[in-house]
Structure formats: structure tokens, C-alpha cells
Structure 1
Amino acid sequence: MTAEFAPLPQPDASDGSPRRVGVEIEFGGLDESHAAAIAADLLGGTVHDEGDATRTVSDSALGKLEIYLDSTWRKSRHEAVRTATETLGRDLIPVEIVTEPIPVSDLPQLSRLCDALREAGAEGTKAGLLNGFGLHYNIQTASDADADICRPLLAYALIESWMRRARPIDQSRAVLPFTDPYPTRLVRALCDLGPDASRADVQDAYLDHAPDRNYGLDMLPVFATFDEQTVRDRMKSHKLSPRPAFHFRLPESRIDEPDWSLADEWQRWVIVERVAADTDLLRRLIDGWKDEHGAVTLSRRAWATRCGDILAEHGLMTDRDDAAGSAA
């Protein structure tokens, strides 16, 4: 059955074209050659061997696909690391499929590819204790307007604790740096700035408190499209590709589990944007967050529960989230 992807509250960009999303999916169990062949068989196109453990599929139904071993290892400056990647490391280092920015309406085709990879033996996070595989969505911003950039960030910061409790991270992913939650000091600063803050003020707050790429929502590529040099000067790592897209880094790829789907994970971001679009809800969440957080945050659990209750009152929780949150 084809997965259904919820529409974004603002489905079109400022020029009237459908908003696009680039997707990165990590998995094990298949090498890049086998995965590329499956993609071309399902979506059409031509497979190209680019060397360096890389395959591309050109002219597929989803445009160009890149399929390769995790680039952090594959592109290491150290020959020993690259050699390990090609031999012993293949059991631990994920293969990635990376799409071009595609219309949201094309996501069901990518979901079908995940089904085909699973049937061929692709493995996800829970297949092994050391399988640290993730899923990333790079969602085009609705426009360059301050609200379309800052409100989704504020919404994510406010509901992150709830999302992490409703769908807990597998232990193999929890040790990785980009699973760290936003620092409390950043969320407090965003709350103080409020829903109508300017991008410049929000960017300053972000760079003051979280100048790093290792968070679930990485805003540095967006901010760098406006002020690349400032971002590069202040961030902890200089590896950055400026682009007008929210880098939403989901901590798990459960591609081998039949009840896991890209559509369910996509729904997380849809909730973020639905919260961002509701000023009254944002203000209620801000007030609730401040009420639950004193000078020092000892636990995020109380706010996660309260946040879930607020979202449920506004009809923003799926049955899966409700059940998961109750069990957590």
C-alpha cells in the first residue's frame, strides 16, 4: 500500500512552485551497487559507477540519486580509514541514498524504494547494536521571510522534548552527537524573542548558544544563505553548504521494519510547521515551557508530558504518538 504523506501547511514556495525536500536515508545489509540496481529497476534511469564506493542513478523518476558509503568515512583524509571503509568497515558503516530536492508529492515513490530495499535485505538501526543509521529531510523554506524561518525553529525547540519522548531514540543512535537536544539556554532565548522575532536576532541567539551542526534541527545551512561568513566564523565546524532548507536530522532509519515508514517520520516535521503556523499555540507553548523550566533544567520529562497534552488538545498528535507517549 502506498504511504500517504501529509501536506505542509504552506505547500508552495514564494514563487508559487511546490516546496521541495531532499532526503538522505542510511541503511546496512546491501552494498551501493546492489542498492543502485534496485533503485534503477524500480524508478528507471541509468546506473553509473563513479568509483570511491559511489554509484549514481541518472534520469530516474526522482531525478538523480546518489548512493554511497557514508561520506564521513569515505572522504577521510586518512588512507587507513578509507581502506577500513572498503573492507572490515562495511558491516558498520551505512550506505546512503541521497535524492535531489524533489516535490513532496514524489515522496511516495521514495517510500516504495524503501520497501524494495527492505525486501532485498536492507537493515536498519535495530538490526544490530552498532547500527547507527539515520534519516534526514532537507525541507525547503516557504520563503525568505523572517517568520517562515524563525517560527519553525521556535516550534521545533518547544516540542523537541515531546518528540524525543514520544518516539525514543534507539541506544545505538543515542551515543551519536547529533542526537543531542537543543541547550536549554537556546530555547529560553528563543522563547524570550517570541514568535515575531527577526531572523537577525534569532540567528544571533542560535550562534550564541548552539553554533554547531550536531542537533536534530540544524539551522546553520539556512542562516548561511543570508550571512555565510558570520556563520562560518562562529560555528564549531566549518563544513557547511548554505541552502534555504531546514536540515531535519531524524535519529533512526528502521528501513527493515514493515511498520516503519518515511511518511510517519515526515509527519514529525508537518507537526512542527503546523505549530509554527498557530500564533496562539506558540504563545501557549512558550508560557508552558517557561513555567516548567527554572534557572536550571533538571529534567525534560515534565515538559514533554505537558507539551504532549497541549498538542493533543489542538489535535496535533497521531495515534502512534499518543500510544508511544503513554508508554514512555
Structure 2
Amino acid sequence: MNQATSCKMPEILNTTAGKERRVGVEIELSGLGYEQLVNLAAELLGGKAVLESRYVSKLETPLGSFVIELDSDPVKELALEDERLPQSIRELGGHAMEVIDAAAERIVPLEIVSPPMRFSQLEHIEVLVDSLRKAGALGSRDAIYFAFGLQLNPELPNLEPATLVRYYQAFTALYDWLKARHQLDISRKFTTYIEPWSTRYTDLLMADDYAPDQHQMMVDYLDTNPTRNRALDLLPLFAHLDKPLLDQYVEDPRIKSRPTLHYRLPDCDIDNPEWHFSSVWNDWVVVEQLATHAGDLAELRALFRESRKISLRNLTHSWQVASEKWLSSKGYV
């Protein structure tokens, strides 16, 4: 794969304010020790790591501040150095801690969280991921109890309801296609945190006359999806748009306000030599492109609605296959 062109760019590269759009990336993996991952990431990204707390390091780089952590609050919060504990317990606990650490680094994912990066800087993530694979990083397929993901937080071109609805509609139409391409691991398929939006909501969303204002758009979604556990999580965006309204439906300290979507569906298949970060990113760009072309989006929405009707044809034909054929015929893939 040509490293210079591996990550494709959408047609709308800038926000309406004229700045290049940005995206945050979250990568979960195993196979490397925590210190090994921190040191390797610092070398690859040209940064300096500072340990902020147990299993949480900040990595200052020319791209911004990365965070590398063990994705488990209970393990991170263990504090045997607390002087209020008797010395004998601290010494005994130290041996147990070594066992806990060894087990945690094997079972609990290590996570790399990037700063918001310009779309044009994503080749750095491509190089990072490929280098971590060569160093021995493992992804979801390595063990049945792994359920590691690669998450994207793409900034939107603008926050107008009409723009947001087009993105939601494009994602809904392409959900089955995306899942077939990037939701490969059995452990993640059985989890609840990457579920699709409710059928009642998508039926409303995909109607030809659906044109809500911001308040109605949020209410329509939250009435049936008041949770972070969705393949495309809208709650960070809603916290940015109208936090008081969001709080009427769900309050969760993990929700971070930001003008982005939160795409949680893909596995992290980092130990597969045929898999690349750009594999995930470029398929997201298909969603971007479909959202940009209103005529194509309307056509695919009509086909989607037809596919939901009860008929012999729909019982014997897959929407995933049909949408893939449509994308190919239109030149999207």
C-alpha cells in the first residue's frame, strides 16, 4: 500500500469556518507491555512521555498530546503507595500487584487516544498502527475474550440539523455494509456497546419528509437511543449542542462534549497483516461522500425503505449485499 495515499480524503475537507476538519482516533490493543507501548509510541511519534498516574501517560508530540493508558479504572486506581496502609500490607500487596499487572496487560486493552488531528495528518496513524503490528501488537482476533475496537471521532463540516441528518441517514443506509467489513470478531458481536440504532428511530430518520430542527432531532434520537452503546454514538455531539436537553435523558460522566460523531463499530484487527488503519478510515469516507451527494443519498434511502418491507424478495436478499452492489455501481467503492 502506498503510504503517501493510503488515507483517502472526503470532498468536504474544511469546516464552514474555513479550517481543516479534525478527527480523534482511539486504538485498543494488547500483546505489548505498557511501558513498551509508551516507549515505542514516543519513538514513532517523536514525542516525550510523562507518567501522569498509574497506567496513564501523556505523550507530547508535534501532532499534539496523545494519551496512552490501560483501559480499566479499577486497575489504574490501585494505590499501594498510600502511606496510610501498614508497611507489611504494602510489601505483601506489591507481590500481588505484579500478578495483577501481568494479568491486566494480557486481558485488559491498552489504549492510545490521539488528540484532534487534521484529516491530512492521518498518515501518521497509519504508520503508527503498522509499526505496532510489526512490534507484536495484538487485536481482537487473538483471543475470545478480547473485544478491542478502533474508534473515530470525526469533526463535522457544520452543525446544521440538515447536515447532521444527512450523516445519520448515510450511516444508517451503510450500517450493514460497514459491519460486514469491520465488525469481524465474535467477542465484539456479542457485546452491547456497538448496537445499531433502534428500528423505530431509523424508520423515522429515513423518511423522505424528515427535516427536524435541532431540538426535535435530539428528542427523536434520545427517545429510543438514550445510551452511549451504539455503533455511532451521538451523545458527545448532543452534549455539545444542548447539554441540558441531553441530561433529561441520560447523565453519564464519560460523555465528553465535542462537535464530532463517535464511530465505535470497527474492530481493531491490528495483528492481521491485511488490515490497516486506512481500511477503517477509507470506509468512513464512503459515509462522508454519500452524505455529501443528496441525490445519491435519496436514491439509496428509497432502496433502504423498500428493503424493509415484508416480501419474498426481501426474505431472500441481503441489504448488505444490495448496498454493496449499489456502492460499486455508483463508483463509491
TM-score normalised according to structure 2 size: 0.86
2:190 maps to 1:175: yes
Distance 1:201 1:213 in 2: 19
Q: Which residue of 2 aligns with 1:216?
A: 231
Query: Structure 1's 194 and 66: CA in aligned 2 closer, same or farther, altered over 3 A?
Result: farther
Q: 2:328 aligns with which of 307, 312, 321?
A: 312
- Give the C-alpha shift of residue 295 in structure 1: 7.6
| Contact 1:157–1:187 (CA under 8 A) maintained in structure 2 | yes
Q: Which runs of 5+ in 1 are unaligned?
A: 318-328
The number of residues matched between the two structures is 314
- Give the C-alpha shift of residue 299 in structure 1: 7.2
Q: 1:49 aligns with which of 48, 51, 54?
A: 51
| Contact 1:32–1:54 (CA under 8 A) maintained in structure 2 | no
| Contact 2:29–2:111 (CA under 8 A) maintained in structure 1 | yes
Any idea what the Cα deviations from partners look like across 1:228-273, whole Å, max 9, x if unmatched?
1111221375531111011011331111122211111001211111
Any idea what the Cα deviations from partners look like across 1:151-199, whole Å, max 9, x if unmatched?
1111101210222234442102112212222221111010126564433
Q: How does 1:131-150 map to 2 (within 5 A)?
A: 131-150=146-165
The alignment yields a C-alpha RMSD, in angstroms, of: 2.7
- Give the C-alpha shift of residue 50 in structure 1: 1.6
Q: 2:199 aligns with which of 174, 179, 184?
A: 184
2:274 maps to 1:273: no
Any idea what the Cα deviations from partners look like across 1:48-97, whole Å, max 9, x if unmatched?
11222111211x132111101014554679999xx786342321110000
Q: 1:283 aligns with which of 276, 279, 298?
A: 298
Q: Which residue of 1 aligns with 2:87?
A: none
2:15 maps to 1:13: yes
2:41 alignment partner, SS class: helix
Distance 1:238 1:299 in 2: 42
Q: 1:303 aligns with which of 319, 325, 329?
A: 319
Percent sequence identity over matched residues? 28
- Give the C-alpha shift of residue 300 in structure 1: 10
Distance 2:76 2:165 in 1: 33
Query: Structure 1's 134 and 18: CA in aligned 2 closer, same or farther, altered over 3 A?
Result: same
1:178 alignment partner, SS class: coil
Q: Which residue of 2 aligns with 1:322?
A: none
Distance 1:299 1:221 in 2: 37
- Give the C-alpha shift of residue 275 in structure 1: 1.0
Structure 2 residue identity aligned to 1:170: D
Structure 2 residue identity aligned to 1:307: S
Q: How does 1:107-118 map to 2 (within 5 A)?
A: 107-118=122-133
Q: Which moved more, 1:300-309 or 1:263-272?
A: 300-309
Q: Which moved more, 1:153-162 or 1:197-206?
A: 197-206
Distance 1:214 1:299 in 2: 28
Q: Which residue of 2 aligns with 1:320?
A: none
Distance 1:168 1:71 in 2: 23
Q: Which runs of 5+ in 2 are unaligned?
A: 81-92
2:39 maps to 1:37: yes
Report which of the two structures shows the higher radius of gyration computed on alpha carbons.
Answer: 2
Q: Which residue of 2 aligns with 1:26?
A: 28
Q: Which residue of 2 aligns with 1:61?
A: 62
TM-score normalised according to structure 1 size: 0.87
Any idea what the Cα deviations from partners look like across 1:26-56, whole Å, max 9, x if unmatched?
0001122111111111221211112221112
Distance 1:211 1:33 in 2: 37
| Contact 1:161–1:301 (CA under 8 A) maintained in structure 2 | no
Structure 2 residue identity aligned to 1:224: A
2:66 alignment partner, SS class: strand
Distance 2:73 2:271 in 1: 23
